[in-house]
Amino acid sequence: MSEEMYEDDEYDGVIKKFMYVNRKAPYGTIYALESLEVVLIGAAFDQDISLAFVDDGVYQLKKGQDTKATEIKNFSPTYRALEMYDVEKLYVSKDSMDERGLSVDDLVVPVEVLSSEQMADLMEEQDVIFSF
């Protein structure tokens, strides 16, 4: 597990690597929205944040979501705001995208597409993993 000291006078603590793994479809449960809210909280505390989208979680990033029938606001555009919070590490499982017929052109934000092996390696580098 890695720890690095923060070089900023405003924060005098240890930065940890937090990964938020999103496995659920964006609607039908509260997991996707809760994950996004927790990510924003973590970012406010200057931690090293990354998000991984696997299984049906890849649908959270899909362009053109129509949520009228669910009567739930489409929150997928919020992922575009993550960059303002210095959350720029977004990873997507290649297998999950392929199984759902998606490509990077179908997503609302730029991502890095990883193989299963690369995703596992990245998870090993994290200090804390939250699964939603």
Q: Tell me, what's the pLDDT at 123?
A: 98
Q: Residue 75: its pLDDT value, please?
A: 83
Compute how many other C-beta atoms are within 10 angstroms of the C-beta atom of residue 44. Answer: 9
Looking at residue 121, its pLDDT comes to 98
**Amino acid 126: pLDDT:** 97
| Rg of the chain over all Cα atoms, to the nearest angstrom | 15
Give the pLDDT of the chain (132 residues) as one tens digit per residue.
555 544 555 556 788 999 999 999 998 888 998 999 999 888 888 889 999 999 999 999 999 887 777 777 778 888 988 988 889 999 999 999 999 999 999 999 999 999 999 999 999 999 999 999
Return phi, psi of residue 89, to 5°.
Answer: -100, 90
Q: What is the pTM of this model?
A: 0.85
Structure token digits, residue 17: 């690597």
Is residue 2 within 8 Å of residue 126, measured between CB atoms?
no
Query: Which pairing describes strands 48-53 and 89-93: parallel, antiparallel, or unpaired?
Result: parallel
- Phi first, then psi: give them for residue 91, nearest 5 degrees: -120, 145
**Topology annotation, domain 14-131:** Hypothetical Protein Ychn; Chain: A, (3.40.1260)
Residue 7's CB is within 10 A of a number of other CB atoms, namely: 7
Contact 22, 32 (CB under 8 A): yes
